Amino acid sequence: MTKFFPLAFYLFSLLFISCSDNDKSQTDDSPVSQEDSRAKRGKRVAVTGFNSTDYFIYRGEPMGFQYELLESFSDHSGYDIVIKPENHPDKAINMLRSGEADILAISLTVNKPARRGIKYTGPIGETRQVLVQRKPEGWQKMTGEEVEKSLVRDKAGLKHKTVYVQGGSVHAGRLRSLSREIGGKVIVVEVPIDDEVLIQQVDRGEIDYTVCDENVALVNASYYPGIDVGTPVSNLQELAWAVRKADSKTLLNELNEWLAEFRKTPEYSILYAKYFRNDRSGAIVKSEYFALNTGRISRWDEIIKVYSESIGWDWQLLASLICQESRFNPQAMSSVGAYGLMQVMPETGVNFGIDIRSSPQNNIKAGTRYIKWLHSIFDPEIEDRDERIKFILAAYNAGPGHILDAMRLAEKNGMDPLEWDNSVRQWLLKKSDPQYYSDTIVKSGYFRGGQTVTFVDEILERYEHYINIVP
């Protein structure tokens, strides 16, 4: 690796520290306080559905009931949770059985016995299954009694009716049991479409009936006032996650212990209300920045796509960096004067001949020019593209001098200077310790690296969520 950069490089690089007021962002200087914040117990893969309650992107941020439950479990357990999206229940279960996933984080109705090869966790909630049907045309001008007369309110009213449900869901089995209970056949059509799309089809008049969990149905009724979800077709049922039966004892115990305590907390109640009793849910789903519907992350997506090509990045990665820096606010300003979507220092714009305040486009242009300059430093050193991106993100936040210092420290101490996660990030954290920042190989001096480490982690984690959700 490069052993020496001339003084002019370091003076020049100081002009480009664009994003963070590092000295003011952390209050504890001790090396102990800057231990690596990432999970220390390894990775667990969770599969969950992507829809308007479980997992989605809104205004550039990952959200959802299942997503936030997984985040809470990650915080509690120390596992690094990686999410894989899958809406089809059978495919999700097969991902668990095959070992592709460790946790099935969808709302499974608890049936006894459990499906082959899986074990249910303790309950994450309760619900019942309800019929989703369309209110009569002109219902707004009818009396409540007139509307009620037009709807199926007795389960026996489903005799010889056709009900569409998601294939692989428990709803088909429930309707077949209902046929036996009411002494007349309910025609069940299983389709490869998730519950929310089927509800939308009921609202549009494309199908007459579907069945889904009541908590999901109630949320969707806030989007589509023309549907009715008031007819239950099952009793109250527990909902749970699942793990693989063959090798799950430790994980299952950890999940059950955590769930039993977490469900007693105000945090759980707030989380449940946020996604299932929130009057704003309809506005979120109808927003231009509800990515599941529109594929959009921000109002700047088209500009981001253009400039991401100039640096050879996926546009979602550049979008994640911009979200981290400014939450897509083009007037954002830091306490040290970094400005705009990419939190560029004015001196950076001057060096590239760009007025960073003149337009959001110019701000992104300056930011990506800086990234291109960072590539010129790290590309010759680090062959692996994924590793190189981590170093460049870190340098975008801290300046390249501090990152090169950490690489030298890693190499001097017998570790890989070209690997971020298990090597260089640790040495960046040690740059607040006099034992290390006073070393003669350190050119840029003291630095508190905790913010930079978190900066890289959060951008890459958000990027993975963007890839999961945004085309």
Q: Where are the domains of the chain?
A: 7-38+297-469, 43-120+243-294, 129-235
Active-site amino acid positions: 325
Same fold, 43-120+243-294 and 129-235: yes
Give domain 7-38+297-469's CATH number out of 2.30.42.10, 1.10.530.10, 3.40.50.2000, 1.10.760.10.
1.10.530.10
Tell me the CB-side half-sphere exposure of residue 124, using CA atoms within 13 A: 25
Contact 268, 260 (CB under 8 A): no
The pairing of strands 162-166 and 80-85 is: unpaired
Contact 318, 307 (CB under 8 A): yes
Q: What b/e string do you get for 188-201 counting C-beta neighbours within 10 Å, with b at 16 or more?
A: beeeebbbbebbbb
Give residue 109's identity as a one-letter amino acid code. T
CA 391 – CA 374 distance, rounded (Å):
9
| pLDDT number for residue 29 | 43
What residue ranges of the chain have pLDDT lower than 50? 2, 4, 6-8, 10-11, 18-35, 37-39
Give domain 43-120+243-294's CATH number out of 3.40.50.10260, 3.40.190.10, 1.25.10.10, 1.10.1740.10.
3.40.190.10
| pLDDT number for residue 32 | 37
| pLDDT number for residue 13 | 55
- How many other C-beta atoms lie within 10 A of the C-beta of residue 381? 15
State pTM to two decimals: 0.89
CATH number of 129-235: 3.40.190.10
| pLDDT number for residue 248 | 75
Max CA-CA distance within the chain? 87
Give the mean pLDDT of the chain. 92
| pLDDT number for residue 277 | 93
